[in-house]
Structures are given as C-alpha cells and as structure tokens.
Amino acid sequence: MWLPDRRTFLVSLAALAGCGFTPVYGPQGGGSKLLNAVALEAPDDRYDYDFNKRFEERLGRGSGPYALKVDFELGTTGLGSLADGQTTRYRLSGRASYALTPVGSEDVLIVGRTDSFTSYSATGSTAATQAAERDARRRLMVILADRVIDRLLIDADTLPE
C-alpha cells in the first residue's frame, strides 16, 4: 500500500518551483488581472446566456478594462442509426473563436479558438429528444466557456499592467 510522505511532497514542490511554475491566481500569476475585469456581450439566445453565465461564475461579472468578443460555430452530426435509417445518437460539435480587447479599442490582446463536442440520444420520445438536445447544447457552451477561460488564464501574464 502506498503511503504519501513529506519527502515526496517536498521533492515534488521543489521540482515545480524549479520549472518556473507559478499559480495563476498567485502573486506573480496573471489570472488576477482577469478577475471581474472582462465585459461580455449581451447574449442573443439561450446558449449565449449559458456561455456568459459560466464565464461569470468563474471570472466574475466584469465591467473592467477588457472586452471579450466570442463567435460560435455549432454543428450536428448523426452518429448511430437503426436498420430502418432512423438516427439514434447525435454529436453536437462547437467552436468558439474569441478575442480579448481593451474596452473601447480595436487592439487585440489575446486571440484564439477552441472547440469541443458532446452528444445526446434520440431514442426516446420527441419531447425527450428535444430536452436531451437542449441539455447537450447547454453542456457544450459550459465546456467552451471553461476552455476559453483556461486559454485566457494561460495568456493572462502577457496582458499590460
């Protein structure tokens, strides 16, 4: 049975310190520059709202020095089918292209693109399939929000003071 000891912990900590690791929200990390500092566009639909909600849960509601522009591309593909050709499972893929700019400026500070996917079953009733699709779209927007935030936090130390 493996039991952790202090020596292993201290050696691991020393290795992280030696490689230049700094916590993103630590004193030298850039993540604190983004907390409550990123303004989002008003949502156009339910899924933009889900993205904004998740973004604000993690970084706070911002009216600060930065604005985030996000464009989404969503697509649906049938995955499984029965012998009669009826599709039983759908893959919902999404791509978020984002640009972080200073408020009131067109200068781009951080730009990027991320994508992900989720899926849902279409074997139930029509109402169940529609509910599954709505849930899959909500989950996809949460995943995309998390990925955009992670990418922003990685590059946050490049932002001006």
Matching residue, tokens 């995943």 = 143
Q: What is the mean pLDDT of residues 128-139?
A: 95
Do 70 and 47 meet the contact criterion of CB atoms below 8 Å apart?
A: no
Task: Please determine, for residue 16, whether its predicted confidence score (pLDDT) is greater than 80.
Answer: no
> Given pLDDT bands bounded at 50, 70 and 90, which one contains residue 14?
low
pTM of the model: 0.83
Q: What is the mean pLDDT of residues 26-46?
A: 86
C-alpha 92/C-alpha 36 separation (Å) is: 31
C-alpha 143/C-alpha 141 separation (Å) is: 5
For the chain, state the CA radius of gyration: 20
> Given pLDDT bands bounded at 50, 70 and 90, which one contains residue 105?
confident
Show Cβ contacts of residue 75 under 8 Å, excluding neighbours closer than 6 positions: 92, 93, 94
Phi/psi at 80 (5° precision): -120, 150
C-alpha 77/C-alpha 87 separation (Å) is: 10
Superfamily holding 28-158: Lipoprotein like domain (3.30.160.150)
Instruction: Report the candidate in 49, 53, 105, 102 with the shortest Cα–Cα distance to residue 72.
Output: 49
| Every domain of the chain and the residues it spans | 28-158
Do 15 and 44 meet the contact criterion of CB atoms below 8 Å apart?
A: no
* pLDDT, tens digit (0-9, with 9 covering 90-100), for 41-99: 999 999 999 999 999 999 998 787 999 999 999 999 998 888 888 889 999 999 999 99
